[in-house]
Amino acid sequence: MRFWQPVLQGGETMQLRNRQLPQLSGRTVSVLVFALFFAWQLAFPFEGQILYALAALYGLDPHTLIFGAIAATCVGLLGGGFVAQSMRGAKRLILGSTVACALLTVPFFFAPNLLWLPSLISSSLLAGACVAAWGFFYQGCTPRHERIKTAADGLAYSNILMVLLNVAAMKLGPHWALGFSVAALGAAFCFALRLPVAPTITPAGLGPAQKSISLARPLAFLCLFVVVITINSGLMYQVQGPAFAGQPLAWLTSWYWAVPYIGALFVMRNLPRTVNRTYLLYVGIAMIGFSFIFFLALGRSAASYLIVDTLMLGACGIYDLFWWSILGEMTDFAKNPARVLGIGISANVLGVLLGGLVGNTINATGLPGSTSTLLALGVVCVTLVILPPLHRYLLAVLKEHAYLTMLFALPLPEHQRRMDDITALGSFTGREREIAALLLAGKTYRNIAAELQVSENTVRTHIKNIYTKNGVQSRMALLNMLQAQQRGNDTL
């Protein structure tokens, strides 16, 4: 009996320790895994400062390595959804990719050798597949209308870690930073072990009309928009960044580069839903244009860098959160969320690759500095043309997304006239007329519930009755019916 007592006590101690481990939610674990893994990817293979520092240390031209890694990342994003077919499969892919990426980073601790390029290409391919596979946890661990916060947290924290790795590369040397990045992969692996293999939230559920919606056209148009606008990001990497990267600004560029991006993410994350984010998309386009104009007009001082980088990276924060959150909600309409996320983010990477190739060509051929600015302004003009129809396509699928719900908001003087029109449409109760007016004013279900001091379920029930009485299935259909009625009244 005495012989077994220590064993029993040891088992009890182990159980007590297990109980004392912090219980992290599925959402928190998924954000930590993404942030740690993505920090390694941003700091090293994907246009990372560690890779640039290694190339500078050995006197290499980094462009072959960089463009090869970006292209491999794009392929990995597209293929990740075909490898990961379930949440359990996605977890296995993330765990395996994390270990493989750590091992494939080892050759870069040594002088340039034949393993560098294949290791970089292989790790980038796996990294892209890993990010796509994360789509299962993006969907399964965060409620639909909260995914904008999950995207903001993952992108912001990964960029904070990337900044720390960049500073380490500048101050301590690239090999130290490389070691810290591998440690980040190790931490990502440890948290990935705690990823769930089944959704941790109760799905909101989609109605029959929503289940029948095809993602093909909205997703294709979103990808077109993302490719076009991120060409400017590629130009930034190859034209704006190198122009300010030399001494004496190296100390500033090593840490400030991503600060406006992180700030924009936190601002957009915490905006009240009543704020019209649609207007901010146009502000972001203007910021991109002005960043290239100031890049051309101003010198290469610290003040110039602060202006140019703040405008450009602030806009990138606005837009990255836009399409990451849009893709997050689109995953509810697909059998495999990894494919939706992978396709959407591959468009982002493709735009960076195209812009980088163009920027590198501009630098190599000695074209005047105004060339990149004129090209960037041309891209801005194209995105201004694409944005309105993009909203229409997205509204067909996502009627309550934070970036879209205020698009058709009405001025307050219009409310009473719409109330009269709504009354003429059908035999509505007083509460239904109030809710219909707020709905057509661009309010979300949550906003309507808060304003009328009722539950969201009550709002949903009333809206279902409103749609049923008019034979429609969406806000847009109801709005079109009202507009048709108004045109008929004007004709009479």
φ/ψ region of 99 (left if φ > 0, alpha if ψ in -120 to 50, else beta) reads: alpha
% of the chain at pLDDT higher than 90: 49
Contact of 437 with 415, CB cutoff 8 Å = yes
Measured between its terminal Cα atoms, the distance across the chain in Å is: 99
Please state the rounded mean pLDDT for residues 314-320.
94
What's the mean pLDDT in 137-156? 92
Q: Are 238 and 406 in contact, with CB atoms under 8 Å apart?
A: no
Question: Under a CB-based contact definition with an 8 Å cutoff, are residues 308 and 40 in contact?
Answer: no
CA distances to 178, 213, 405 from 188, in Å: 15, 36, 35
Average pLDDT in the 445-470 region? 79
pLDDT at 15 over 50: no
- d(C-alpha 368, C-alpha 150), whole Å: 42
Measured CA angle at 480 (ends 466, 448), to 5 deg: 45
Q: What is the pLDDT of residue 419?
A: 53
Question: CA–CA separation, 362 vs 342, rounded Å?
Answer: 30
Fold of 414-491: Arc Repressor Mutant, subunit A (1.10.10)
Q: Report how far residue 278's alpha carbon sits from residue 288's, in angstroms, rounded to the nearest whole number.
A: 16
Predicted confidence at residue 350, as pLDDT, reads 95
Average pLDDT for 444-472: 78
Confidence of residue 486 (pLDDT cuts 50, 70, 90): low
> Which token pair is 13?
């101690």
In Å, how far are 146, 341, 346, 374 from 192, measured between CA atoms?
A: 21, 19, 23, 45
- When mean pLDDT is compared across 134-138, 220-224, 327-331, 470-474, the lowest value belongs to 470-474
- Distance, CA of 190 to CA of 192 (rounded, Å): 5
Give yes or no for residue 206 having a pLDDT over 90.
Answer: no
What is the per-residue pLDDT for 413? 47
* Spatial CB neighbours of 67, under 8 Å, sequence gap ≥ 6: 353, 356, 357, 360
CA-based nearest residue to 142, from 77, 213, 196, 184 = 196
Q: For residue 116, give every residue at least 6 positions away whose Cβ sits within 8 Å of its Cβ, in sequence order, or none.
A: 65, 107, 108
Higher pLDDT, 221 or 362: 221
Please state the CATH superfamily assignment of the domain spanning residues 213-407 in this structure.
MFS general substrate transporter like domains (1.20.1250.20)
Nearest of 360, 85, 348 to residue 233 by alpha carbon: 348
Q: pLDDT tier at 326 (50, 70, 90 boundaries)? A: very high
Residue written as token pair 């396509």: 393
Residue-level pLDDT at 32: 97
CA atoms of 99 and 193, how far apart (whole Å): 12
Res. 407: pLDDT tops 80: no
What is the pLDDT of the chain when averaged over all its residues? 83
233 vs 240: CA distance, rounded Å = 10
Answer whether 480's CB lies under 8 Å from 441's CB: no
Residue 346's pLDDT is 96
pLDDT tens per residue across span 255-289: 898 999 999 999 999 887 666 677 888 899 999 99
When pLDDT is cut at 50, 70 and 90, the band that residue 399 belongs to is low
Contact 44, 166 (CB under 8 A): no
- Over 80: is that where the pLDDT of 351 sits? yes
Residue 477: pLDDT band (50, 70, 90) is confident
The pLDDT tens digits for 76-113 are: 999 998 999 999 999 999 999 999 999 999 999 999 99
pLDDT tens for 149-164 read 999 999 999 999 999 9
| pLDDT tens readout for residues 161-203 | 999 999 999 889 999 999 999 999 999 999 999 999 999 886 5
Rg (CA), the chain: 25
State the pLDDT confidence band at 11, using cuts at 50, 70 and 90.
Answer: very low
The model's pTM is 0.78
Please choose, from the candidates 159, 67, 130, the residue with its C-alpha nearest in 3D space to the C-alpha of residue 352.
67
Mean pLDDT of 448-463: 79
38, 44, 49, 52 alpha-carbon torsion, rounded to 10°: -160
Instruction: Give the separation between CA 299 and CA 297, rounded to whole angstroms.
Output: 7
| d(C-alpha 471, C-alpha 22), whole Å | 51
